[in-house]
Amino acid sequence: MALSDGLHITRRQILQGSAAAAAGLSLPSASHAQAQTTGAHRLWYRKPAREWVEALPVGNGRIGAMVFGGISNEKLQLNEDTLWTGGPYESVNPAARAALPEVRRLVFAGRYAEAQKLADTALMARPLSQMSYQSFGELLIDMPEIPDFWAREYRRELDLDSATATTVFTVGGATFRREVIACPVHQVIAVRISADKPGRIDCGVTLHAAQPGSLAVERDTLIVTGTNRDEHGVAAALRFAGRVQVLHEGGTLEPRAGGIGVRDADSVTILVAMATNYRRYDDLRGDPLAIINAQIDTAAKIGFAGIAAAATAEHRRLYRAVALDLGTSPAAEQPTDARIAAVGTAEDPALATLYFNYGRYLLIGSSRPGSQPANLQGLWNDSGQPPWGSKYTININTEMNYWPAEPTGLAECTAPLIALVRDLAETGTKTAREMYGARGWVAHHNTDLWRATAPIDGAQWGMWAMGGAWLCTHLWARYDYGRDLAYLRSVYPLMRGAALFFLDTLQSDPNTGHLVTNPSMSPENSHSGGANGPTICAGPAMDMELLRDLFAQTAQAAKALGLDADFARELLATRAKLAPNQIGAQGQLQEWQADWDAAAPEQNHRHVSHLYGVFPSHQIDFDETPELAAAARRSLERRGDDTGGWGTAWRANLWARLRDGDRAHRQLMLLLGSARVYPDLLNANPFQIDGNFGGTAAVAEMLLQSHDDQILLLPALPRAWPTGSVRGLRAPGACTIDLEWRDGQLVHATLASPLGGKRIVRLGGQRVAVTLKAGQPLRLVGPALKPGR
């Protein structure tokens, strides 16, 4: 759009635009200010993103983009969830099985440095590192005839309810609008550029791949094809393809260098599709070109309005299952980055609500049936070498990603995680056999797209065989919340196989006679010799806690299905022989079998692995095991609050489970501060999405806790949220719960379950036994929990 095409930019407008640029484009009009909604479902800003950690995420589970909201130059950084480095590979160290008895002997003899050195050379995987998640590339939209400093009334936002990223600005009397949405129905990312005056859209569209490839331009279409990269000696095996189609209303198309140009259009729609040849970790027979062509051809017939309507409806089906209100304040009307900067100085309860809603939005956007599970960065990554490969770290981080799924109404988002466990049970069977000489299956502390299961990263970090066991607790949680026997029957073999491995590999501790894991570690903490000293040990508390859950849940599953009675009895008998939790000399819950906690070199270690029994497990309970709960509290106090985002999120959940709402809220406020979130509210330093998901789970945990058919209402309500409501939280037994409270007191609670059944409802010291009738809501009123309407 040339200056002669009716823009009529005056000298005064240019000067005003320059002033706006100097002030960060912060010139919202009165109408914009009036249009601002309460800050619970919307992230918004007065200037474009300058870097990736300020951009806004959209995703449909499988493909996603980070939207920068530029003016003359817009960028969408793109991801496709199967684009990783390398290809199928074997990782078990051939020397492992022969060396394992000596490693065990050295551990039991207390010769930990020697044991760890031998484990490093003989037990660790080959290669020692796994593959990395990759960026697909960038979609660039160039509007050079609209310089940034001309823009007025700039605003960019992410509407969590509609799942739409929008950028709006005014230039020369015309208001331009750019909308981006990732559609799970039609499997495209759709961009629409429009203006409120005809013929004003001039733009160029280009597509850059972040992997080796080539670009073809065919009038209104860009197609990029190529291959992934090798890494750590593992050969590249993926082929990828991306297609961009540019549709316009009014105006003309014109060729531009390496891209497509549109001139004098009323509006432009850009459709993006991406795929690889990946079908499974052992099946690369997909045809990415055929996939993307079918997706674009279908989407082009529907148009942006149809794509956006389908995407928003499907998103809202999940997103609107829960509604939270923690109150509001004038701070909620400020831009999101200003709200983050003011944490600790301004009352803003709606920021916690926004963070909760954002976590649910991110899980919907990064984990849907048919996609890969949410990795360390969910779906969104701009690097060829992301932190920790953006892998699946299964000694806490992957599990934390899914903590909010069941309690906040996103059960179907666990489907990719369950599919991951199915894959790991296959690859882990070989690792169990070749490395340990054991039946069943095993996965250590990390895995990747290729479902590697051998220990990686060196013995100090990776000599931990409990990853599969922890993941199996999520299989059980899915059943416990839904009580679907057909589902349980489908996952029982996975749980059985994980338990079988430990029946074969547990060792009798010569010092105590208890059954323990050996070799193992308490992730990722050294028990002696400085921060880089030995971690290797036998029977850390976390392992014992995990196995108590695995054995009990597998036995419960067998009973529910009427299967394997003898096996279930064996599991429970073995469970009774596991080393128990112990309280150390400082009154703390011991992290290891020996009382090493006070001498451990990192007193403020980010992991609190031994507190798994408090949360996410229920083994250590405030009422039923008060001495252990007090010891866990002591451990948490000793470990401190000063840690990264995901560690802060775990601490928030732990304080909530220990029913200290104000302490949990303090952790949540740390999580929301600028030291632990970026301006786009993603978990910071570096970006890991688990902090977002853990924080979302913590909010739910403060409002509702449930286990063994007991339901605790407002168990850790902080003073900062005196009045509020929540609709749609879930408890086991397919139970949905709505709550409203005022001045810190329950107004009413409504419980409903299609299955019915008996529950114990608790509020403070009040306990009420109720019987739910299938499909009939039950309303309890006031602190006395009286039945009511």
Give SS3 for 45: strand
Has residue 2 got a pLDDT over 60?
no
Q: 114 Cβ partners below 8 Å, 6+ apart?
A: 106
The mean pLDDT of 458-481, rounded to a whole number, is: 98
Round to whole Å and give the CA distance between 674 and 339. Answer: 10
Which pLDDT band holds residue 38 (cuts at 50, 70, 90)? Answer: low
In DSSP terms, 218 is beta-bridged to 221
What is the residue whose two structure tokens read 């009939």? 776
Instruction: Indicate if the pLDDT at residue 72 is higher than 90.
Output: yes
CB contact burial 406-417 (16+ within 10 A = b; e otherwise): bbbbbbebbbbb
Please provide residue 759's backbone torsions phi and psi, each rounded to the nearest 5 degrees: -140, 155
State pLDDT tens for residues 559-568.
Answer: 999 999 999 9
Q: How far apart are CA 230 and CA 236, in angstroms?
A: 4
* Closest by CA position to 473, among listed 364, 623, 580, 612: 612
- Please give the pLDDT value at position 9: 32
What string of DSSP letters covers 659-695?
Answer: T-HHHHHHHHHHHHSTTTB-TTS-BTTTT-THHHHHH
Q: pLDDT digit string (tens) for 325-379?
A: 999 999 999 999 999 999 989 899 999 999 999 999 999 999 999 999 999 999 9
Q: What's the average model confidence in pLDDT over 136-161?
A: 92
Q: Please enumerate in sequence order all residues whose Cβ is within 8 A of that of 173, keeping only pairs 6 or more positions apart, or say none.
A: 7, 8, 197
Task: State the average pLDDT for the chain.
Answer: 94
Q: Which of 433, 399, 324, 473 is nearest to 694 (CA)?
A: 399
Is the pLDDT reported for residue 20 higher than 90? no
Please tell me the distance from the alpha carbon of residue 260 to that of residue 206, in angstroms, as a whole number. 7
For residue 529, the model assigns a pLDDT of 87
pTM of the model: 0.95
Neighbouring-strand partners of residue 567: none
Alpha carbon of residue 576 to chain centroid: 34
Distance CA 63, CA 184 (A): 9
What is the rounded distance in angstroms from the CA atom of residue 264 to the CA atom of residue 250?
7
Whether pLDDT at 73 is above 60: yes
- Whether the predicted pLDDT of 157 surpasses 50: yes
| 153 in Cβ contact with 172 (< 8 Å) | no
- Only one residue has tokens 């106090």, namely 637
Q: Is 572 left (phi over 0), alpha (psi -120 to 50) or beta?
A: alpha
Q: 């991306």: which residue's tokens?
A: 242
- DSSP H or E segment with residue 56: strand 56-59
Spell out the alpha helix ranges (H) of 80-164: 96-108, 112-122
Task: Check pLDDT > 90 for residue 19.
Answer: no
Q: Which residue type is seen at 536? A: I
In b/e form, how buried is each residue of 511-547, taking b as 16+ CB within 10 angstroms?
eeebbbbbbbbbbbbbbbeeeebbbbbbbbbbbbbbb
Angle made by CA atoms 547, 551, 554, in degrees to the nearest 5: 135
**Residue carrying the six token digits 């129905």:** 185
Distance in angstroms (rounded) separating the CA atoms of residues 179 and 177: 7
Average pLDDT value for residue range 3-12: 31
Could you tell me if 16 and 152 are in contact, meaning their C-beta atoms sit under 8 angstroms apart? yes
The answer, yes or no, to whether residue 11 has pLDDT greater than 80, is: no
CA separation for the pair 336, 451 (Å, rounded): 38
Q: Give the residue, 5 or 762, on which the prediction is more confident.
A: 762
Quote the CA–CA distance of 495 and 619 in Å, as a whole number.
19
> Percentage of the chain surpassing pLDDT 90?
90
Order of all β-strands in the sheet with 213-218 = 42-45, 152-159, 164-171, 174-183, 188-195, 267-276, 239-249, 221-227, 213-218
* Structure tokens belonging to residue 92: 């078990």
Q: Which two tokens stand for residue 414?
A: 């666990």
DSSP 433: I
pLDDT tens digits, 654-698: 999 999 999 999 999 999 999 999 999 999 999 999 999 999 999
Sheet holding 323-325, edge to edge: 323-325, 724-731, 735-742, 745-752, 778-781, 786-787
Range name among 42-51, 83-92, 488-497, 636-645 with the lowest pLDDT average:
636-645
Tokens of 5: 């095409």
Dmax of the chain from CA atoms? 89
To 5 degrees, how large is the angle CA 165–CA 337–CA 381?
Answer: 55
pLDDT in tens, 726-743: 999 999 999 999 999 999
Q: Which residues of 182-205 are buried (b: 16+ CB within 10 A; e: fewer)?
A: bbbbbbbbbbbbbbeeebbbbbbb
Distance from C-alpha of 217 to C-alpha of 101, rounded to nearest angstrom: 61
Predicted confidence (pLDDT) at residue 592 exceeds the cutoff of 90:
yes
* Main-chain phi, psi angles of 785, to 5 degrees: 60, 45
Length of the chain: 789
- The closest alpha carbon to 82, from 297, 370, 445, belongs to 370
pLDDT band at 14 (very low <50, low <70, confident <90, very high): very low
pLDDT of residue 257: 82
Helices (H), 65-151: 96-108, 112-122
Amino acid symbol at 3: L
Identify which of 326, 313, 307 has the alpha carbon closest to the alpha carbon of residue 41: 326
| Each residue's pLDDT tens digit, 622-656 | 999 999 999 999 999 999 998 888 999 999 999 99
Poorest-pLDDT segment among 144-158, 490-504, 519-533 = 144-158
How many other CB atoms are found less than 10 A from the CB of residue 681? 24
